[in-house]
Amino acid sequence: YSHESGLNLTVGYLNADDANSDVSYTDVGVTYTGVDGLTVGYGQGDVEQTTNTKSDESTMFAKYAIGSMTVGIQISEKDNETGNDYESTGIGISYQVNDDLTVSYGTNTLEKSGSNDQEAQALGISYTMGSLGIALSMNTVDNIANSATNDRDAYQLGLSFAF
């Protein structure tokens, strides 16, 4: 369902059959775009990929663009009937300095019950000059897969030419 006020509602239903799922379930999502530059949303559903692996999953987000800046946040949760629960929080911001230069920063934390938090950060810069594009990103992730001994840093440089 979508309404000209900016409200959009989506509902999904899966009937139980042994080929796809052992349970019937319903997913629900709603987004709102009725304020200039703002988008907010929420979604919730049940998931069972194999027998006895049911989880309740939800996510909510907000994104706001004003002038040359865009800011966003997303918070997600996965509660498992058996096993570990997860919570994720991501925040991002981008700023278009001028027609040619954009700078962005993002961070994400993944919490797993009983484990170390996985934490990631990224900084990106892109510059366009005529048909030439240059992009640089610097990334760091600590406790990958929630393991205290698994950290990585990465750097990426990209060049593009339009003909």
- Give me the residues paired with residue 31 across strands: 8, 41
pLDDT tens digit at each of 163 positions of the chain:
666 788 999 998 877 776 666 677 789 999 999 899 999 999 999 877 666 678 889 999 999 999 999 999 999 999 988 878 999 999 999 999 999 999 999 999 999 988 889 999 999 999 999 899 999 999 999 999 888 889 999 999 999 998 8
pTM metric for this prediction: 0.80
Contact in structure between 69 and 97 (CB atoms under 8 Å): no
Cα–Cα dist 2/24, whole Å: 25
Residue 84: what are its φ and ψ, rounded to 5°?
A: -75, 150
